[in-house]
Structure 1
Amino acid sequence: METEARPGTTIPLYALYGQIDAAAELRFLHLESLYARNQLYGWNIRPHRHHDLHQMIWVADGHGTVVLDDRTLALHSPVLLSIPPTMVHGFQWVPGAEGLVLTLAESFVADILKLSEDPAIETSLGHLLAITGALHARSLTRLHDLFASTVDEYVHERVGRITAIAGNVTLLFAELARLRHFSVQPEDDPQARSIRAVCRDFRRLVESHFREHWSVARYASVLAMAERSLRRACVQELGLSPQQVIHRRLFIEARRDLLYTDKTVAEVGYGLGFEDPAYFTRFFVRHEKDTPQVFRRQRTA
């Protein structure tokens, strides 16, 4: 768990917002009203991220704004947000907004995915979903009922409580996948499942080692496969080469550090494994077309 060395030097990485240590009693799931957390912070949740937590935010009444990495969106109820781990997010709600914040341990999500074996759900959870102000009446009713049922199970210690909650969460995941309009691939296609598994394992390795600038050959070796097989899988499933996946992850983190910390450009580069600040600047320009200094100035002015 990261903690702040000095104000602004790192993007806060929380178990739950406002709890920098891991003292939050979160074995698999945490559920609270929008009011419970936001009123403590004046309805202003500053940009932060979670290392291994997935969050779903449901706002039935109210409005506000959300920061998602380098984007800011206006939100008007009904609002449904599904935010994957490590994505920077912050909120400014109008006081009195009514809703729920569902925080899920990544291990719990993984257990559900293992049981469901549904590629549409796995794909949808790996991406941001932000719906505001427009939901089909049937979807609105289903979401309202599923969140209400989850709250009921969460606050009552009844027999089968965990099973009931897991069932509701699984149905919420299915609704997310439907809202993203993903088509479920045939379950009897072992080759497709194998490719998805390779890409999932590769991206998890990248998440752990992108700052170390591992070569594609090293990733392939850890995955016990040939480089060409890893490339084939990534291009087919992700539309990117393995090197592009690695560089994209580095670039996302560079943007986050430039936007949400007061590190110098050189410090950002060093923190991402670049020994030469000039090389980091060239890397950033290849992806952004602007230097890190210009990028920061234009977006933080």
Structure 2
Amino acid sequence: MSKGPESRVFSAPCAVFIPPGTAHGFHFAPNSEGIVATVLADRLSLPLATDRALSAFFSQTRIVPVDGVDAGEGKHIDHLFRRILAESMEGSVGRDLMLDAHVTEVLVWLARAGARATLPDDGGVPTRDSGRLQMLETLIAAHFREHRSVGFYAEKVGVSVAQLNRIARQEAGASVTQLLARRLVDAARRDLIFTPTPVQAIAYSLGFQDPAYFNRFFRRQTGTTPGAYRETERRRLVS
């Protein structure tokens, strides 16, 4: 039995995020003002794939009040939306790249504001395991290019390899090895799309001694080669 449509009430100032593919409609009060930004789903894929917290936050419709955030932060969010509007109306060089950058920044600011607005009554004090996951993610960010073993990270966090994998699967839904692979792929994607660096040089910069192995690794993780991925994504940027 299908559910009927859900109605949600919101008031300004706020930002509303609606995930791709979600049927929706609005009924605005007279004299309402605002900006509607429609972003193609493939333009959201890279920033949401890059950060687990962003992906989780924007997996559903979100209404983020802006009046409760820091005044400077609220003005910055408003400024970003206006920059998106201005860029979309201009034909300047690099417009699509600038729009992607502004959209990514908007997503990050809204997720941060939304997370603070929905903290639990206990103040959102992290559990021991969530704290260990944050430590792991910090370590991965610092060392992922070095291709360290899982044991290296377990020792730094102060737990066994089995414990660290349990924490990673419980808190992040992936093993430590999978988290490391994701970080390498995310870095590779950014370099492939936004830099002219040759694939071979990208491989070396990510700690791969053999560019051919990097190609196999990337294809195993994404289903395509680095060269084909770069070509496809750059065509999307200029379309």
Show the counterpart of 1:127.
54
| Greater strand fraction, Structure 1 or Structure 2 | 1
- 2:192 pairs, out of 240, 243, 258, with 258
Q: 1:211 to 1:175 in 2, by over 3 A?
A: closer
Show the counterpart of 2:115.
177
Distance 2:189 2:122 in 1: 37
Distance 1:277 1:235 in 2: 30
Deviation at 1:287, TM superposition (A): 1.0
SS in 2 for 1:262: coil
Deviation at 1:175, TM superposition (A): 5.5
Deviation at 1:127, TM superposition (A): 2.3
| Contact 1:65/1:72 (8 A) holds in 2 | no
Q: 1:185 to 1:263 in 2, by over 3 A?
A: farther
Identity of aligned residues (%): 30
Q: 1:209 to 1:184 in 2, by over 3 A?
A: same
Show the counterpart of 1:276.
210
SS in 2 for 1:72: helix
Deviation at 1:62, TM superposition (A): 3.9
Deviation at 1:177, TM superposition (A): 2.6
Which consecutive residues of structure 2, in runs of 5 or more, have no partner in the other structure?
A: 1-32, 76-109
Distance 1:263 1:149 in 2: 37
Q: Deviations over 1:1-22 (max 9, x none)?
A: xxxxxxxxxxxxxxxxxxxxxx
Deviation at 1:144, TM superposition (A): 3.5
Show the counterpart of 1:144.
67
Q: 1:232 to 1:151 in 2, by over 3 A?
A: closer
Root-mean-square deviation over aligned CA pairs: 4.0
Distance 1:222 1:196 in 2: 15
Q: 1:202 to 1:185 in 2, by over 3 A?
A: farther
Structure-to-structure mapping, 1:225-264, within 5 angstroms: 225-264=159-198
SS in 2 for 1:144: coil
Please tell me the residue identity of whatever aligns with 2:139.
L
Q: 1:293 to 1:193 in 2, by over 3 A?
A: same
Show the counterpart of 1:300.
234
- 2:141 pairs, out of 207, 223, 232, with 207
Show the counterpart of 2:22.
none
Q: 1:280 to 1:173 in 2, by over 3 A?
A: closer
Show the counterpart of 1:72.
43
Show the counterpart of 1:39.
none
Deviation at 1:72, TM superposition (A): 2.2
Distance 2:203 2:113 in 1: 40
| Contact 2:54/2:111 (8 A) holds in 1 | no
| Greater helix fraction, Structure 1 or Structure 2 | 2
TM-score (norm 1): 0.45
Distance 1:300 1:243 in 2: 29
Deviation at 1:64, TM superposition (A): 5.7
TM-score (norm 2): 0.56
SS in 2 for 1:263: coil
Distance 1:292 1:286 in 2: 11
Q: 1:66 to 1:253 in 2, by over 3 A?
A: farther
